[in-house]
Amino acid sequence: MHAAAFRNPAPCYRGVTLWMLNDKLNEEELVRQLRGFRKAGWGAVIPRTYNGLLTEYLSGEWMELLDRIVRVAKEEGLKIWLQAGYMPAGVPDLPPAAAHRVVTRIPAGEAAGADRVWSDQHYAYCIQTRAHVVDYLNPDAVAEYLRIAYEGPWLARFGMEFGATIEALWVDEPHFSPPLLPWSALLPARFEQMWGYALAPHLGALFAPAGDHRKIRHHYWRTVSQLLVDGYFAGVSAWCERHGVRFAGHLMGEDTLQSQIGYTAAAMPCYAYMHLPGIDHLTMSLTWPSGRPFIMTPKQCASVAHQYGRQEVLAEMYGVSSQGISFGDRKRLGEWLAVLGITYRCLHGSFYSLRGRRKRLYAPHLSYQQPWWPDNRCISDPFARLSYALRQGVYAADVLVLHPVESGFCLYDSGRHQHPSGGEHEAGSMEALYDTFVTLSEHLLRIHRGYDYGDETILNRHGRVDGRNLAVGDMSYRAVILPALITLRSSSVALLQRFAN
């Protein structure tokens, strides 16, 4: 550590604020607010569309104003993160072939004219198209999305600042549409290739316990997870690397096993492709949203970052709390997340305008409207120093805890999907699996054991025995803990046997 760098940390340690552009935009006001963010001790901004915007998005006027924002940020030493031109769940004029599909179950007598995949005595299993949502599972659809949402709005006009003033492209909550189950034209063939049997005759097992439903559900979500990673996350990551910017953002529903599976199949394999992986924390509660300690969500993200050698782990924080949030509240929440591996704060949020109903949307509003705004460095400077300190040296942990999400695949019931907790708390249920996992995580914290989670996809790619330790990517662990599980991959069993021997 260097004393001068610690005393006055660089912008890269000062966090990023979500700048909610939510009214008719004025160039002078935009410049005034942007310079105010620098004075308040922040290092980067995400200028993004928001409820109430009255300047036409991506119009000539919008582009000229954004160009001005980039120029002023460069003058001020601030970094810009561009929001994806269109979020993947809201793409206008998306070609039908690139649109997301879902599979639903309809009583056989009501399925006339529906796009059927399979029928049994009681139900038809039919495909519906989500017209403005990209098919995350199809690399060709993702390539078309990148053309519409990244190349069209941003690359030609701002590409010369990629990797300089514009350091990242931000995406908010790419996700499926639970309780509807994701589908793609590629899914049946990939499923049969991976598991040696056809999916269609067994679709009923995804909706209700029937036959060997745990095996079928496990195979289905394993396939979906692989397609999601290979399609959307690898595609966006590779595009960003080619153009010199970082892939940043956070997922949806990472907070329990039930919600995570419904929204993204498995979060940890997705983080592996993000250059600045992140999570979302809402409210002022440290037990949000399930009533259990908020541990699993940051630990998942930080574990992947540790294993892939990434120092920056992001959390969007403070949103949906209160206009009365204090410096003490912000300190308490930020330090809890820092203990769990978060090194980069994303602030929710700074609202361009509080006119009319805007003031009641998703408080707090961390900007010039607040009476404490001139004193914001009381909180921004200490957290910048903490972020700097946390990125020095090399993170070490003794223990690897296997993540039970693939056991959760066996139990996922789309009919019970809800955010945050899902099914009933009974032996062998999804809720019991989650509860025991979080309890184990909490106990390890209480006895001050450094630990990471181990995802089986990442273990299969990067796990190895290294002397007396089990190594995963850049990390090396002395012990492995298996929590409550239903299933393990054969590759995981073989790796654990070698480690035990």
DSSP string, 289-306: TTSS-TTHHHHHHHHHHH
Strand 469-472: give its sheet, edge to edge. 463-466, 469-472, 475-477
Least confident segment among 62-71, 104-113, 257-266, 469-478 = 104-113
Residue 301 clears pLDDT 80, i.e. is over it: yes
By DSSP bridging, strand 463-466 and strand 469-472 are: antiparallel
pLDDT in tens, 176-200: 999 999 999 999 999 999 999 999 9
| The residue type at 493 | V
Q: Please spell the DSSP secondary structure of 180-233, one letter per residue.
A: SEEE-TTHHHHHHHHHSS-SGGGGGGGTS--SSHHHHHHHHHHHHHHHHIIIII
pLDDT in tens, 391-446: 998 899 999 999 999 999 999 998 776 654 444 555 579 999 999 999 999 999 99
CA distance 228 to 249: 16
Round the average pLDDT of the chain to a whole number and report it. 95
CA distance 367 to 59: 26
Least confident segment among 151-155, 241-245, 248-252, 417-421 = 417-421
352: which DSSP letter? S
**What percent of the chain has pLDDT above 70?**
98
Which helix (H) or strand (E) segment holds residue 457: the answer is: helix 456-462
Closest CA to 349 of 335, 328, 370: 370
CA distance 255 to 281: 9
Using H for helix, E for strand and C for coil, what is the string for 5-64?
HHHCCCHHHCCEEEEEECCCCCHHHHHHHHHHHHHCCCCEEEEEECCCCCCCCCCHHHHH
Closest CA to 79 of 170, 156, 177, 181: 170
Residue 222 in contact with residue 194, Cβ under 8 Å? yes
CA distance 87 to 83: 8
Is 356 strand, coil or helix?
Answer: helix
H and E: helices and strands count for the chain: 17, 18
CA distance 233 to 215: 26
Q: Please spell the DSSP secondary structure of 71-139, one letter per residue.
A: HHHHHHT-EEEEEPSS-TT--TT--GGGEEEEEEEEEGGG-TT-EEEEE-SSEEEEEEEEEEEE-TT-H
pLDDT in tens, 104-149: 999 988 878 889 999 998 999 999 999 999 999 999 999 999 999 9
Which helix (H) or strand (E) segment holds residue 351: the answer is: strand 344-351
CA distance 103 to 5: 54
Residue 348 in contact with residue 317, Cβ under 8 Å? yes
CA distance 453 to 230: 22
Q: Provide the pLDDT for residue 113.
A: 82
By DSSP bridging, strand 99-107 and strand 344-351 are: unpaired
CA distance 341 to 306: 9
Q: Provide the pLDDT for residue 426.
A: 54
Confidence of residue 322 (pLDDT cuts 50, 70, 90): very high
Least confident segment among 108-122, 137-151, 272-286, 312-326 = 108-122
- Of the two residues 8 and 416, the one the predictor is more confident about is 8
Least confident segment among 148-157, 411-420, 454-463 = 411-420
By DSSP bridging, strand 475-477 and strand 469-472 are: antiparallel
Other C-beta atoms within 10 Å of 497: how many? 10
pLDDT in tens, 232-247: 999 999 999 999 999 9
Residue 347 clears pLDDT 60, i.e. is over it: yes
- Across the range 27-31, mean pLDDT stands at 98
